[in-house]
Amino acid sequence: MKHQELQIKCKDGFEISGNLFAADPPAKGSVVICPALGVPQKFYSPFAMFVSDNGYDAITFDYRGIGRSKKDSVPGREIHMSDWGALDIDAVLDDIVGRKTIPLIAVGHSAGGQLIGLAPLSKKLAGIMLTPASSASWRLYPPPFKFVLYMLWHILIPLLSVGRNYFPAKMLGLGSVDVPTGVMSQWAQWARKKDYLFSTQFDNDISRYSHLGIPILAYGFSDDAYASTEAIEHLLSQFSAAKIDRRFMNTKDIEAGSIGHFGFFKEKMKTTLWSQALDWMDKTIENLNIIKKTG
Average pLDDT for consecutive 10-residue bins of the chain (295 residues)?
94 98 94 97 98 97 98 96 98 94 94 98 97 98 96 96 94 90 98 97 97 97 96 98 96 84 96 96 88 63
Confirm if 79 and 184 have CB atoms less than 8 A apart. Answer: no
Amino acid (one-letter) located at 30: S
Domain count, the chain: 1
Q: What CATH number does residue 219 fall under? A: 3.40.50.1820
289: in domain: yes
d(CA 262, CA 190): 22
d(CA 34, CA 112): 5
Q: In the prediction, which pLDDT does 287 show?
A: 87
Give residue 215's domain range.
2-136+205-294
d(CA 163, CA 75): 11
252: in domain: yes
Confirm if 65 and 31 have CB atoms less than 8 A apart. Answer: no
148: in domain: no
119: in domain: yes
d(CA 27, CA 56): 5
Q: In the prediction, which pLDDT does 294 show?
A: 65
Mean pLDDT over each residue of the chain, to the nearest integer: 95
Confirm if 201 and 186 have CB atoms less than 8 A apart. Answer: no
72: in domain: yes
Give the chain's end-to-end CA distance (angstroms, integer).
33
Q: In the prediction, which pLDDT does 253 show?
A: 82
Peptide bond into 46 cis (omega under 30): no
Confirm if 77 and 180 have CB atoms less than 8 A apart. Answer: yes
pTM of the model: 0.96
76: in domain: yes
Q: Partners of 165 in the beta sheet?
A: none
192: in domain: no
78: in domain: yes
Q: In the prediction, which pLDDT does 291 show?
A: 65
